[in-house]
Amino acid sequence: MTEPTFTDIRGKQYETVDSRVRRFRDDHPTGDISTQILVDDDTRVLMKAEITIDEKRVATGTAEEIRGSSNINQTSAVENCETSAVGRALGFAGYDAAGSIASADEVSRAIDQQQSTSFPPSQPGPSQAESPGRKPGREVLPA
């Protein structure tokens, strides 16, 4: 029996995709992990992974990556997307030893992407700042 491999990300344990794959292969030597590219264009990649055991589909997972949105997606968006879809499908199939559908690989990439993307600060307009009952730290969205 293969023991799961975990990575600590911000104090929470996540299982890696390769750990999920190894455990699945040990448990189901004739099981199948298949992937399909749903969209592959200049902007994004969208993939679906299916987990099959005894010729029955037991889980699916999807993932989307935006080309150029991170260092890895500049050169390997398809591979990155496939890994995420497989990790999610295996998580749905019960290979989530840390209790999370998201894998360590997926969470780590999401954090890296958030840190490399700059968002403009939100500036409330005069009517928002002067609204009676407005609580500090809460943005009032226009209706």
Can you read off the two tokens belonging to residue 96? 């989530």
Detail the DSSP E strand segments found in the chain. Answer: 6-9, 12-15, 32-40, 44-53, 56-66
Averaged over successive runs of 10 residues, the pLDDT of the chain (143 residues) comes to: 87 90 97 98 98 98 96 95 96 89 79 65 40 36 39
In this predicted structure, what is the pLDDT of residue 131?
A: 35
Give pLDDT, residue 138: 36
- pTM attached to this predicted model: 0.74
Q: Sign of dihedral through CA atoms 18, 19, 20, 26? A: positive
**Dist. CA 97–CA 20, nearest whole Å:** 9
